[in-house]
Structure 1
Amino acid sequence: MDKIISSPSKYVQGENSLDSLAAYAKIYGNNPLVIADEFVTKLVGKSVSRSFEAEALQFTMELFKGECSQNEIDRLIKVCESKLSNVVVGIGGGKTLDTAKAVAHYAKLPVVIVPTIASSDAPCSALAVIYTPTGEFEAYLPLPKNPDMVLMDTAIIARAPVRLLVAGMGDALATYFEARANSTSGNATMAGGAPTRSAQALAKLCYETLLSDGFKAKVAVEQGVCTKAVENIIEANTYLSGIGFESSGLAAAHAIHNGLTKLEDCHHLYHGEKVAFGTLVQLVLENAPLDEINTVLAFCDSVGLPTNLFAMGVEQIDHDKLHEVAQSASVEGETIHNMPFSVSADNVYAAILAAHQLGLR
């Protein structure tokens, strides 16, 4: 199996970098379709308009309706075609960005990704996660290439609610452990080959950065400021985790997340908050050393990530529903089967309950 590492063509991170969006985007096309939800449009719409006006570029701003579903993707493809757009720009959170990537893929256009939060590792990946219109996980959409550019404006991200940055840490937390499991099993990564040493090093650096700077970054963002710790965590959440997961592999943690979408009690949670608990479940499945589990629990507690079902909004333990979660997480084709041992739904159910109790303690 060939070793493969996959990444965006260009990654830009800096304070007020959104002001230069048009200057960067015009390399890829002179008539962009800009996709953003209503909140983000109100937040950055004027800055985006000024940027394109300064470069004398026409553009179309279209509202994203909130769910990365096939229906929404199809609607935006029609908008793209009607406006003769030649580049897609996605601005906002993970579902907006995944939608922009999917639209660009089907329309055969370049895509520029502009996160306004650092809540997941979605921006850098050649992957979109498709949900049903009601928000349940439906499928992964593998893409033939990574985004042409990812632009991170740290000033905007530092002013976002701290919970979003913490959710990104939860998503990033899984990167090293899933990479480790996938490397042991020898299965192909999301990039389609064996992991490179550089991708594995990025995954490990991601985990080390979370432990060293995660709490400091949370404190800074609570004050609405961007410190070196915040810069480091933005890079860890977005670039290190993005390259680390895609080129080193997914395993149990993200499969547990997908299973948890079956629980209505957890629908209010962000992706990374569920992935953080999924990481604990994976460590239980592996029978990881208690010291390692305690380190992860302490980190989650320090930044405010959920470590048990009650913290995720589950009011009563419903064993039938947890069996359904376990079955969904272990269906054929799920990433849980990248673990270096056979995993059944019963194994997952047991690990969920054990992880819940460890988190309570």
Structure 2
Amino acid sequence: MQTDSFVQKGAAAQLAVHFNGKAQDFYFLMLPQATMLPVAAAIEPLRIANQVSNTELYRWYIMSEDGAPVVCSNGMTVTPDMPLEQLPQDAVVFVCAGNEPQQTASDSTINWLRREHRFGRRMGAICTGAFALAQAGLLRGQDFTLHWENQPGFIEIYPDLQPSSNIYEITKTFMTCGGGNAATDMMLNLIEERHGKNLAIIIADMCLHVRSGGQMAPQKSNYAVAIGSRNQRLLTALQLMQDSIEEPLSIGTLCDRLDISRRQLERLFSRYLDQSPMNVYSDMRLSHAYALMNETAMSVTEIALASGFNSATHFSRQFKRKFGASPHFFRKGWV
């Protein structure tokens, strides 16, 4: 939406911010199927910063490749302020993506990102926007992250790039977050660096947002929270399984690593998860395959191998059992 004024009135008491510099400009490049929540979660702290300080500390603009409206992942349409164009020298640009991230950034967009990077623009990515930055070849040697759901597919496509599990990453040149409310945490960090902790606290309160405690916070709840148990051997077993998807560990190897008997391991899983260890492990690998099926162009055989199945036939049978359709008919638009 075109913004006539970046400073709005509000009911909250104002905070005096002593700042004589120019407003910082943020540009949000929305790709087709972008998720709306993290974009709003990134922009609202900027708006509130201006509101509670009664000062134009920030300005924000929405972009699309050609200036045409963008349909988000929830079906809602966003009208941008402008098409891709050369940005001011001190501008910050965020690539905002969501579903089908490997397919939504055109060659024109990728070339524009490369050009703006060469011109020294500080860049970032929200949710799955890191796919576009990787396509542009901009993430080598960088600390970055993207939404946990899309990380398995990203790693298969870009095996030389390793996203972190943190909710956001901020470096001198790149800022990335996993999406959702992580975008608010990331922007509060940037606001605190520029205008102080008191302003960041007020903005968080205005957003009814409890800050995560820093960028090292993980994106997902740990296994202890997920399963309602702090049994260390069970948690270690689950982590070992998660770390060995492509080359699954045998039950014997798991027991050796945990220094327990097979019967003890099976009792642990039965008590806390009501499943056998192998069933839990199989579900992990099938969930991994599901992500690759949706996020990559890998063949069914390649996905089977990447998910620890030596036989594509066995993989297809297990996939159909869990998801109700064989992998060959599961591709987007087929079921």
The TM tier, using the shorter chain, reads: 0.3 to 0.5
- The structure showing larger relative contact order (alpha-carbon pairs under 8 Å, at least 6 residues apart) is 1
Give the TM-score, by structure 1 length.
0.33
* Rg larger for: 2
